[in-house]
Amino acid sequence: MENRGQISGEFLLLAGVLILVLMISAVFIFSEQELNIAMTAARKGVDEGLISSSSAIYAKESYADYSQSKSNLLIPYSVEIVNVSYTEIGWDNNYDKEKIQFKVYAKSSRDFSKKELDSIGDRINYNLRKALAISFNSTSSTNKLYNPVFSPHYVFTTANVKWV
């Protein structure tokens, strides 16, 4: 009779430790899941920005500006994304969240001026941030340029596209 109490006590201790380990692991898993969602959304947004730029599909205001000062951008062109990465910048006291900055590396088969490359990069970054805002359902808590974008634990920004 005395052995029965010892087995159930050891079982309760083991079960308690297992539950504790699972709870601690869940915190890390949810954090990584949020970053995985962000990276997936960023890549989707970069692709959308690349497609709209490469197809020379622009808003009316952009088209008017480009037809006067950046006519090379009205002709479909080839841009290739080399890499999309993010860097943890640190804690942002303004938003009480961890700050993450995305950076896109791209190259073009055509020679564009710095101003034209900046326009292409701006379109890519805009679509990246927009995709993040849609993924985290935070379009109402950001501005019309989707800068910055918020998730439950992070605030996202973008760096200028690096042309390689």
99/50 Cα distance (integer angstroms): 25
Task: Please check the confidence at residue 1 and state whether its pLDDT lies above 70.
Answer: no
Residue 2 is predicted with a pLDDT of: 58
Structure-derived torsion over alpha carbons of residues 140, 143, 144, 147, reported in degrees to the nearest 10: -120
Extents of the domains making up the chain: 33-163
Using alpha carbons, select from 7, 2, 72, 44 the residue that is nearest to residue 128.
44
Q: What is the pLDDT of residues 65-123, one digit of tens each?
A: 777 777 777 776 788 899 999 999 999 999 999 999 999 999 988 888 898 899 889 98
Using alpha carbons, select from 48, 51, 75 the residue that is nearest to residue 63.
75
Over residues 49-66, the mean pLDDT reads 77
Least confident of 3-12, 22-31, 152-161: 3-12
Q: What is the pLDDT of residues 122-133, one digit of tens each?
A: 989 999 999 999
Q: What is the pLDDT of residues 43-52, one digit of tens each?
A: 999 999 888 7
Residue 142 is predicted with a pLDDT of: 87
Residue 37 is predicted with a pLDDT of: 93
**Residues contacting residue 149 through CB under 8 Å, at least 6 positions apart:** 129, 132, 133, 136, 138, 142, 155, 156, 157
Burial level of 122, CB count in 10 A (0-12/13-18/19+)? middle
The residue with greater pLDDT, 65 or 160, is 160
What 3-state DSSP class applies to 116?
helix
* Confidence grade of residue 6 (pLDDT, cut at 50, 70, 90): low
Residue 161 is predicted with a pLDDT of: 95
